[in-house]
Amino acid sequence: MSYDENIRIGELLNNAESFAVLEKHLPEFVKEPTFKMATNFTLDQLAALPQVDISLSTLQILKQELAAIAFEATVQKQEIGAPTGNKEGISLEGKVIVVTGAGSGIGRASAVIMGSRGAKLVLVDFNEQTGEETLALVRENGGEATFVQADVSKESDVQNYIQKAVEAYGKIDVAFNNAGILQKFQRFQDISEEEFTRIMDVNVKGIFLGMKYALQVMDKQGYGHIINTASTTAIRAEHSLAAYTASKHAVAGLTKAAALEYVRKGIRINAICPGGVATTLTAAVPQSLQESGYVPEEFPNMRIGRYAEPEELAQIVAFLASDYSSYMTGSIILADGGITL
Ligand SMILES: NC(=O)c1ccc[n+]([C@@H]2O[C@H](COP(=O)([O-])OP(=O)(O)OC[C@H]3O[C@@H](n4cnc5c(N)ncnc54)[C@H](O)[C@@H]3O)[C@@H](O)[C@H]2O)c1
């Protein structure tokens, strides 16, 4: 394949020829930590960072010279069927599954795949428009679903979507508590109380409430499975993301505590830990860094050389939602392209 503007710095540094081009035009930058750490950025995104001084003419020359290089795709993107669904996988026929954060990214991809495999879905998001779009996508791919608008950090909204799920389908087999938000990259000492509370409200209280009200239903049923979306920051810190890191550690804590309590009650609780996934959440990072003028000293190193597609996480969620994950509970499951190695 030839150079295109979506190729990430990580890939440019891995290829001897493109490395030489970068070294020729940006000798200092190649040595500089910020540059090396920004492996997940494209050249344009990198050049837009305030700390990185690449002139427009240098950028053009770089692109011209890179265009002459043949890139071997170091990692092939997986052809995994979604967003058109994937009927060939493990059947989820008869399962009722609640998905929060269903309007985008991992939640949307999971909904489409699980719907196409026979699950009846209750899609939850506070963004009504994107939630309705997911509903349409699920139906286009042969799935059955309803959408409930809710803010997962509001108790009455959570009670409402759980009640709607039971009214619509009579039970809840799986609750996928996935809605979450990313913090502004900032030094610890600069994080405002407001920002800390915003992150905790959605990422911790939202998961707590989703678990609490799903557990009330599942306890009566005598069965059920809760899948929480944590992050690699549930088990390691990420630079300049203290509040987010703390919130995802808390998700792991809630997962394990509930798994322990309900292990003999037929209810399993697990968490997935994505690393970097190409979603709205990560797409917003370069611009937010540009606006704030703050760049962390380190970025996560996706050793695999690319972001995950949301569908790659969705396949794991679909497996977990099936009975084939029957011996798993309290598991904190990594799918991170080698970030935590
Ligand atoms: N993208 C990544 O690299 C990555 C990595 C690790 C963990 N995660 C986690 O994965 C989960 C999904 O993220 P994504 O990358 O798909 O993001 P995304 O922004 O594409 O989707 C998140 C969805 O959640 C919804 N949402 C946000 N706050 C909400 C609230 N209070 N109530 C209801 N809905 C709300 C949004 O409207 C959006 O539709 C999050 O918990 C995130 O922390 C993502």
Measuring from atom 10 of ligand 1, which residue has the nearest CA? Answer: 229
Edge-first strand order for the sheet with 224-229 is 144-149, 120-125, 96-100, 174-177, 224-229, 267-274, 332-335
Q: How many angstroms separate the alpha carbon of residue 327 from the centre of ligand 1?
A: 27
How confident is the model at residue 37, as a pLDDT?
Answer: 62
Q: How many angstroms separate the alpha carbon of residue 279 from the centre of ligand 1?
A: 8
Residues 6+ apart with CB under 8 A from 214: 98, 162, 172, 175, 177, 224, 226
How confident is the model at residue 86, as a pLDDT?
Answer: 62
Q: CA 137: distance to chain centroid?
A: 19
| Element housing 176 (H / E) | strand 174-177
Residues 6+ apart with CB under 8 A from 232: 238, 273, 274, 275, 300, 334, 336, 339, 340
How confident is the model at residue 35, as a pLDDT?
Answer: 65
CB of 285 closer than 6 A to ligand 1?
A: no
| Element housing 224 (H / E) | strand 224-229
- Domain residue extents for the chain: 9-66, 96-335
How confident is the model at residue 79, as a pLDDT?
Answer: 47
Please give the Cα distance from 238 to 221 (Å, whole number): 39
Domain 96-335 fold is: Rossmann fold (3.40.50)
Indicate which atom in ligand 1 lies nearest the CA of residue 230: 7
Indicate which atom in ligand 1 lies nearest the CA of residue 181: 43
Place of tokens 């996935």: 178
Is the distance from CB of 268 to CB of 225 less than 8 angstroms? yes
Q: Which residue in 3, 169, 213, 244 is the catalytic one?
A: 244
Is the distance from CB of 308 to CB of 274 less than 8 angstroms? yes
Q: Is 244 a catalytic residue?
A: yes
Low-confidence ranges of the chain (pLDDT < 70): 33-37, 51, 72-87
How confident is the model at residue 290, as a pLDDT?
Answer: 81
Rg of the Cα trace of the chain? 21
**Which of 100, 113, 125 for mutating ligand 1's site (highest number of atoms within 8 Å of CB)?**
125
How confident is the model at residue 34, as a pLDDT?
Answer: 63
